Amino acid sequence: MSVILIMLPIAFLLAGGAVLAFIRAARSGQFDDLDTPSVRMLHDDGAEER
């Protein structure tokens, strides 16, 4: 029973930290454009010809 009294607050703190980190990343624009970076290398801009 004493283990639950220790682990439950720790679990809530970790979950709260994860939620706060997600909210901070979402507000800073981290998740605005998820498609462009993965296909950017497929577009030929002629950089290798220089």
At residue 49, the pLDDT reads 55
At residue 26, the pLDDT reads 93
Whose tokens are 């605005």? That residue is: 32
Alpha helices in 1-50 (DSSP H): 2-27, 36-39
At residue 48, the pLDDT reads 58
Nearest to 17 by CA among 28, 25, 5, 27: 25
pLDDT tens, residue by residue, 1-50: 899 999 999 999 999 999 999 999 999 988 888 778 778 778 766 655 55
Residues 19, 15: Cα–Cα separation, whole Å: 6
Domain count, the chain: 1
Residue 16 lies in a domain: yes
At residue 40, the pLDDT reads 77
Domain span at 24: 1-29
At residue 45, the pLDDT reads 67
Residues 17, 10: Cα–Cα separation, whole Å: 11
Residue 6 lies in a domain: yes
